[in-house]
């Protein structure tokens, strides 16, 4: 006759099972520590982010000066991104949605996100995103052609380096961020409960080349601004911090501001988030001039949401540093060991 396990042993077995199960559903990742941040920055010093900005500028010039979601300028921006992704060996897909237009045009407008995924475990998905649309008043080259360029070059760099993700990466180009974060909100709303639980991290890049800019990344643990992201956001902050530190590049944290960019729908859904930002309407402080150079008392991007947000409105050196940061964080999460 088999001996029945005692209640203490049974409780221990149940605890072990529930720990294993919760470990699976929580889908949190500790980023790999063996990606070399200095080698990544070296790689990005030679990459062609500015070429993407020139292409997006031409598209705006040919289409009334902007790339607003739902317009021909946006459609052509989408085609450009899709061509780039296909040439690199990805299979981009469009996720269509409708949003309510602003101003006089308050009817439903159809537009899309572009998504391109790698192989790897979908149980541990890393979403790397930024918005592809511009405001109506300008071509949106720093806001957010710069982020688009950083993501495209990260995607291409992964293929060229033969980095094979253990954890699936989804590269995302959002539509209608400038309306009300509609594209990223649609993506998060379309995720099932399991899909949300499987999303281990969201990495955002919105403005990565501000002409009088700073290097900043979001305060995931809330230690600087008191507003932490969901558990795991601290790890994302730490990855960016490591990249800048190892490269001896001064950098600072920036708070999550409700409704400010595409991280918002992810954080609201309990998904850990973080990302990069080089600044918009704040004025550069004396301390920031000491760290980064530039002009004190002048706004970080004087062409923010204006017609002058063109290819003349970018800091190409900053764009290299920030694109390398995105690539480093992406690879660190793509290769993160589980458990
Ligand atoms: N989301 C703002 C815009 O597109 C800019 C922004 C980016 C603000 C990142 C905060 C953080 O206009
Ligand atoms: Zn904007
Ligand atoms: Zn933006």
Q: Is the pLDDT of residue 267 over 80?
A: yes
* Tens-digit pLDDT profile for residues 145-162: 999 999 999 999 999 999
Domain assignment of residue 201, yes or no: yes
Atom 8, ligand 1: residue with shortest CA distance: 260
Residues facing 125 on adjacent strands: 199
Question: What is the rounded CA–CA span in Å between residue 15 and residue 329?
Answer: 34
Domain assignment of residue 11, yes or no: no
Spell out the residues 6+ positions from residue 268 whose beta carbon is closer than 8 angstroms to its own. Answer: 188
Domain assignment of residue 313, yes or no: yes
Mutation pick for ligand 1 pocket among 67, 144, 207 (CB with most ligand atoms within 8 Å): 207
What's the gap in Å between 258 CA and the centre of ligand 3? 14
Residues spanned by the domain of 110: 29-334
Is residue 264 within 8 Å of 183, Cβ to Cβ? no
Ligand number nearest CA of 279 is 1
Residue 322 backbone dihedrals phi, psi, to 5 degrees = -75, -35
- For residue 102, the model assigns a pLDDT of 76
Domain assignment of residue 9, yes or no: no
- For residue 3, the model assigns a pLDDT of 39
Is residue 218 within 8 Å of 233, Cβ to Cβ? yes
Domain assignment of residue 91, yes or no: yes
Q: Catalytic residue among 76, 153, 177, 280, which?
A: 177
Q: Look at the chain and report how many structural domains it folds into.
A: 1
Domain assignment of residue 18, yes or no: no
Is residue 106 within 8 Å of 165, Cβ to Cβ? no
SS3 187: helix
- For ligand 1, whether the C-beta of 207 sits within 6 Å is yes
Is residue 207 within 8 Å of 281, Cβ to Cβ? no
* Planar angle of CA 285, 288, 293, nearest 5 degrees: 115
Ligand number nearest CA of 138 is 2
- For residue 24, the model assigns a pLDDT of 42
**Strands 108-117 and 167-174, sheet pairing:** antiparallel
Domain assignment of residue 273, yes or no: yes
* Domain CATH code at residue 318: 3.40.630.10
Q: Is the pLDDT of residue 94 over 60?
A: yes
What's the gap in Å between 206 CA and the centre of ligand 3? 5
SS3 109: strand
* Tens-digit pLDDT profile for residues 32-42: 989 999 999 99
Is residue 284 within 8 Å of 297, Cβ to Cβ? yes
Question: What is the rounded CA–CA span in Å between residue 246 and residue 325?
Answer: 11
Domain assignment of residue 223, yes or no: yes
Question: What is the rounded CA–CA span in Å between residue 92 and residue 286?
Answer: 44
Question: Tell me, what DSSP letter sits at residue 226?
Answer: S
Q: Is the pLDDT of residue 106 over 70?
A: yes
Q: Verify whether residue 177 is a known catalytic residue.
A: yes
What's the gap in Å between 145 CA and the centre of ligand 3? 9
């Amino acid at each position: 006759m088999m001996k029945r396990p005692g209640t203490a042993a049974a409780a221990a077995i149940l605890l072990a099972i529930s720990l294993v199960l919760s470990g699976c559903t929580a889908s949190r990742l500790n980023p790999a520590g063996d990606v070399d941040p200095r080698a990544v920055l070296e790689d990005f010093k030679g990459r062609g982010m500015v070429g993407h900005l020139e292409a997006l500028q031409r598209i705006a010039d040919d289409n009334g000066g902007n790339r607003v979601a739902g317009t021909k300028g946006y459609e052509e921006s989408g085609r450009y991104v899709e061509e780039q992704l296909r040439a690199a060996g990805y299979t981009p897909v469009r996720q269509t949605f409708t949003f309510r237009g602003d101003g006089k045009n308050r009817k439903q407008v159809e537009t899309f996100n572009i998504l391109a995924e790698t192989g790897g475990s979908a149980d541990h998905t890393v979403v790397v995103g930024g918005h592809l649309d511009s405001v109506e008043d300008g071509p949106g080259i720093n806001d957010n052609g710069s982020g688009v360029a950083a993501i495209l070059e990260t995607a291409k760099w992964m293929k060229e380096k033969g980095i094979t993700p253990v954890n699936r990466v989804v590269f995302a180009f959002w539509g209608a961020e400038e309306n009300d974060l509609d594209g990223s909100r649609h993506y998060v709303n379309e995720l099932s409960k399991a899909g949300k639980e499987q999303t281990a991290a969201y990495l955002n890049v919105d403005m990565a080349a501000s002409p009088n800019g700073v290097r900043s990344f979001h305060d995931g643990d809330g230690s600087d601004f008191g507003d932490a992201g969901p558990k795991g956001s601290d790890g994302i902050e730490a990855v960016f911090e490591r990249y800048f530190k190892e490269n001896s590049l001064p950098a600072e944290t920036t708070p999550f501001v409700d409704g400010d960019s595409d991280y918002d729908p992810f954080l609201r859904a309990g998904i850990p988030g973080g990302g990069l930002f080089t600044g918009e309407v704040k004025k550069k402080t004396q301390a920031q001039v000491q760290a980064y150079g530039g002009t004190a008392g002048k706004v970080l991007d004087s062409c923010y949401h204006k017609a002058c947000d063109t290819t003349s409105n970018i800091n190409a050196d900053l764009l290299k540093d920030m694109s390398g940061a995105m690539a480093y964080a992406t690879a660190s999460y793509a290769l993160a060991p589980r458990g």
